[in-house]
Chain A
Amino acid sequence: MTIELRNVAKRFGSFAAVNGVSLHVERGELVALLGPSGSGKTTLLRIIAGLEYADAGEVLFDGEDAGDRDVARRRVGFVFQHYALFRHMTVFENVAFGLRVMGRAKRPADDVIREKVTALLRLVQLEPMAGRYPSQLSGGQRQRIALARALAIEPRMLLLDEPFGALDAKVRKELRRWLRGLHDEMGFTSLFVTHDQEEALELADRVVVMNQGRIEQVGTPQEVYDRPATPFVYEFLGNVNRIACTIIDGQVDLWGHQFSVETAERGRREGYAYLRPHDIEILTTSGASSRAHVKHISATGPVARVELAIEGVATPIEAELSRQQLDALGLRLGQPVLVQPRNVRIFPVDAAA
Chain B
Amino acid sequence: MGFTLLYLSVIVLLPLAGLVIKASDATWPQFVAAAVAPRALAAYRLSFGSALFAAAVNLVAGVLVAWVLVRYRFPFKRVIDGLVDLPFALPTAVAGIALATLYGPKGWIGQVLGVLGIKVAFTATGVTLALIFVGLPFVVRTVQPVLQDLDPELEDAAASLGATPIQTFTRVIAPAIMPAALTGFALAFARAVGEYGSVIFIAGNIPMKSEIAPLLIVIKLEQYDYTGAAVVGVVMLSASFLILLGINLLQRWARIRQGEKS
The answer for the CA separation of A102 and B162 in the assembled complex, in Å, is: 7
B160 and A49: CB pair below 8 A? yes
Report chain A residues within 8 Å CB of B164. 72, 101
B163 and A87: CB pair below 8 A? no
B259 and A72: CB pair below 8 A? no
A78 and B176: CB pair below 8 A? no
Q: A84-B151, A84-B153, A84-B154 are in contact. Are A101 and B167 (CB under 8 A)?
A: yes
B259 and A51: CB pair below 8 A? no
Report chain A residues within 8 Å CB of B258. 87-88, 133
Which of chain A's residues has its CB closest to B168's CB? A101
B137-177 contact mask (Cβ, 8 Å, vs A): 1 or 0: 00000000000000101101111111110010001100110
B175 and A88: CB pair below 8 A? yes
Report chain A residues within 8 Å CB of B175. 86, 88
Tell me whether chain A's interface is mostly helix, strand or loop, or mixed.
loop
Q: Is A71 an interface residue (CB 8 A)?
A: yes
The distance from the CB of A6 to the nearest CB of chain B, in whole angstroms, is: 23
A78 and B167: CB pair below 8 A? no
B236-262 contact mask (Cβ, 8 Å, vs A): 1 or 0: 000000000000000000000111100
The size class of the interface chain B forms with chain A is: 20 to 34
Report chain A residues within 8 Å CB of B151. 82, 84
- Which residues of chain B from 185 to 222 have any CB-CB distance to chain A below 8 Å in the complex? none
A133 and B259: CB pair below 8 A? yes
Report chain A residues within 8 Å CB of B171. 86, 97, 100-101
**One of B153, B158, B159, B176 near A87 (C-beta < 8 A):** B176
A84 and B162: CB pair below 8 A? no
A55-69 contact mask (Cβ, 8 Å, vs B): 1 or 0: 000000000000000
Report chain A residues within 8 Å CB of B259. 87-88, 90, 132-136
Report chain B residues within 8 Å CB of A73. 162
A72 and B172: CB pair below 8 A? no
The distance from the CB of B230 to the nearest CB of chain A, in whole angstroms, is: 44
The answer for the CA separation of A152 and B157 in the assembled complex, in Å, is: 13
B156 and A88: CB pair below 8 A? no
A51 and B156: CB pair below 8 A? yes
Q: A88-B258, A136-B259 are in contact. Are A78 and B160 (CB under 8 A)?
A: yes
**One of B153, B154, B159, B161 near A149 (C-beta < 8 A):** B161
The answer for the CA separation of A86 and B159 in the assembled complex, in Å, is: 13
B153 and A72: CB pair below 8 A? no
Which of chain A's residues has its CB closest to B179's CB? A88
Q: Is A98 an interface residue (CB 8 A)?
A: yes
**One of B161, B176, B260 near A97 (C-beta < 8 A):** B161
Q: Is A9 an interface residue (CB 8 A)?
A: no
- Which residues of chain B from 113 to 159 have any CB-CB distance to chain A below 8 Å in the complex? 151, 153-154, 156-159
A sample of 6 cross-chain residue pairs with beta-carbon separation below 8 angstroms, ordered by A number, consists of A51-B156, A78-B156, A88-B257, A88-B258, A133-B258, A136-B259
Binding site for A on B (CB under 8 A): 151, 153-154, 156-164, 167, 171-172, 175-176, 257-260
Q: Which 6 A-B pairs have the closest CB atoms?
A: A133-B259, A98-B161, A84-B157, A84-B153, A101-B163, A78-B160
